[in-house]
Structure 1
Amino acid sequence: MSKTITNIHTIDLVSDFKEITKMRLAVSVVFSSVAGYFLGAEIIDFVEVLLLAVGGYMMVGASNAFNQVIEKDLDALMNRTKNRPIPSGRMSVNKALLIGSTLGALGLIILYYINPITSMFGAISIFLYVSVYTPLKTKTPLSVFVGAFPGAIPFMLGWVAATGSFSIEAGTLFMIQFFWQFPHFWALGWWLYDDYKRGGFFMLPTGKRDKGTAVQIILYTIWTIAVSLIPVFGVTGRLYLTPVSGVLILILGLGMLYYAYKLYQSRDEISAKKLMFASVSYITLLQIIYVLDKYIRIWI
């Protein structure tokens, strides 16, 4: 009986750890970082890839743990967050702070072992997410703009980890993920508007699910596509994309733009949800295409 109770307790601890670090988000960040590494590396060091993945997860996990400590009272007001470890009472604030501090310190040490500049960008990401973006979420819709900076670092971080320097290639990867976040998070904010409102969060650029917000989503979707295609023209150093892959990216982008336009037409939660998932598919497939394009060219 005691063994069964211990097993259940262990499962609960693992589940709470996954929630406090937002495992799905952290894994997507790690995926972006590893994609950036494969793009930047001339010779792949799989030890570095592992360190980047572990350090990256810790970095994001720390940011999310601190975020949930700060927003614990607001999380309790929203349906999608009220069962998180802290507002539900399953985890104390001190325990969450210990997890965040430990992960943050270890993550930055691991990234520093890869190279100092990677650790520096990791520290900047944590600082901006926790100290600037999180407090602004209840103050102004501009929080999404601020949050787009730490959110855009992972793709770039992989290139920096592989090369040890920031360059036009890393900057281009940063800009792709930077512009992408606006239609992604505004679609999410539109879909979960009522829940965010209960928590007092301002996620939409006009503060409302209106025509102005829908137009901005379309504009930022277009800019996301445009920035994603810049490497096709050979002006971004070693970061190059063949015209064939450029066409694939354009097709993906037009698909995302289609859902953005459908949201403009319908202005309902279902359309926003579809756009949100389309945006996730876009950035994931884009990163896969970028990496495959590079290595197919090398192998051929």
Structure 2
Amino acid sequence: MSNTAVHKASISFITDFKEITKIRLAMSVVLSAIAGYFLGADTINFVTLLLLTIGGYFMVGASNAYNQIIEKDLDILMNRTRNRPIPSGRMSVQTAFIIASIFTALGLGILYIINPTTALFGAVSIFLYVSVYTPLKTKTPLSVFVGAIPGAIPFMMGWVAATDDFSIEPGTLFMIQFFWQFPHFWALGWWLYDDYKRGGFFMLPTGKRDQKTAIQIVLYTIWTIIASLIPALGVTGDLYLTPISGILIAIIGSGMLYYAIMLYRKRDEKTAKSLMFASVSYITLLQIIYVGDKLIRTWI
């Protein structure tokens, strides 16, 4: 084999490696955990922060690899997934399983070095995502409820990594991201409804792009905003939000709610796509506001 062929094969494997672990999604989840860490830490321990980043990536990467192994026969049916490493034939199931297993061992081991509680939540996240959420996606819309649990753990896990304690503060962070999962994934499910249908996935609460689904999206968006504002009331212990930051959260929340209401009115793919991106912007800006609020209060 020529050097050029070897080089191309190496690049292809790296690309497939990033795809099987969904590196962009994994890093967004890691950033959520880092935000939780900054909120919980009195002083920043950069070793712990590095361990959380690496362990968090391994944890999410393992879940994604297991997920693609289980759904390989369904992924080939959908336009957005048929070119993934396994259904395209570029990566074997055995190789993917080895990657997933190594990532699981390394991820949980690294998180355990931080503290056992953080590793426990990491293990719960992998188990629920792979063993419960993934099989349920083709069975019932309740899969989104189950999937919202591991999806909400990283934000909370960052706080636990900083404090080795689970109480009202990480519980509140969990609640915020838990409620947020519903309008986010239902908007995605609405937007890609036809593709999901080809794969046999039931993502929307009624199974249809109808008024009842749209109403639930609006309601869960409202609950997400309410949960996000609770720390501004001063009832969540060390997790506190100043009134000014509370107003900022309300403003970005009203933006997300606007798109949810528009989806209720229009019920089309374009608006669902807009809501999906608005939800991503909301949770990202929320975490920036929360962390920024704490840093400003600390400096003052």
TM-score surpassing 0.5? yes
Counterpart for residue 128 of structure 1: 128
Gaps (5+ residues) in structure 1? none
Cα drift, residue 116 of structure 1 = 0.3
**Alignment-derived partner of residue 68 in structure 1:** 68
Partner of 1:294: 294
Counterpart amino acid of residue 215 in structure 1: I
Shift of 1:3: 2.2
Which structure 2 segments of 5+ residues have no match? Answer: none
1:88 aligns with 2:80: no
Post-superposition Cα deviations, 1:133-157, rounded to whole Å, max 9, x if no partner, equal 0000000000000000000000000
Deviation at 1:175, TM superposition (A): 0.2
Quick one: distance in 1 between partners of 2:3 and 2:43?
48
CA distance in structure 1 between the aligned counterparts of 2:73 and 2:222, rounded to whole angstroms: 37
* Segments of 4+ moved more than 4 angstroms: none
**Alpha-carbon distance, 1:7 to partner:** 1.7
Residue in 2 aligned with 1:97?
A: 97
Read off the aligned partner of 1:66 and give its amino acid letter.
Y
Instruction: Give the drift of 1:69.
Output: 0.4
Q: Distance in 2 between matches of 1:288 and 1:9?
A: 39
SS in 2 for 1:140: coil
Matched with 1:250 is 250
Separation in 1 of the partners of 2:16 and 2:25?
15
Shift in Å, 1:2: 2.2
Q: Structure 2: how far apart are the matches of 1:234 and 1:250?
A: 16
Q: CA deviation at 1:9?
A: 1.2
Residue identity in the other structure for 2:280? V
Partner of 1:77, secondary structure, is: coil
What TM-score do you get using the length of structure 2 for normalisation?
A: 0.99
Q: How does 1:1-300 map to 2 (within 5 A)?
A: 2-300=2-300
* 1:242 Cα deviation after fit: 0.3
In the comparison of the two structures, how many residue pairs are matched?
A: 300
Read off the aligned partner of 1:139 and give its amino acid letter: K
CA deviation string 1:17-50 (max 9, x = no partner): 1110011110110000000000000010011111
Q: For residue 110 of structure 2, give the secondary structure of its aligned residue in structure 1.
A: helix
In 2, Cα distance between equivalents of 1:42 and 1:7: 47
SS in 1 for 2:156: helix
CA-based RMSD: 0.7
Letter in 2 for 1:41: A
Alpha-carbon distance in structure 1 between the residues aligned to 2:36 and 2:293: 13
2:219 maps to amino acid: L
Provide the rounded CA distance (Å) in 2 between the counterparts of 1:257 and 1:282. Answer: 10
Q: Matches of 1:236 and 1:5 in 2, distance apart?
A: 58
Distance 1:2 1:125 in 2: 43
Give me the TM-score of the superposition, normalised by structure 1. 0.99
Q: CA deviation at 1:293?
A: 0.2
1:87-143 per-residue CA deviation (whole Å, 9 max, x = no partner) reads: 000000011000000001100000000000000000000000000000000000000
The separation in 1 between residues aligned to 2:112 and 2:204, in whole angstroms, is 36
Q: Distance in 1 between matches of 2:155 and 2:50?
A: 16
The worse-fitting range, judged by mean Cα deviation, of 9-18 and 276-285 is: 9-18
Measure the CA separation in 1 of the matches of 2:2 and 2:254. 57
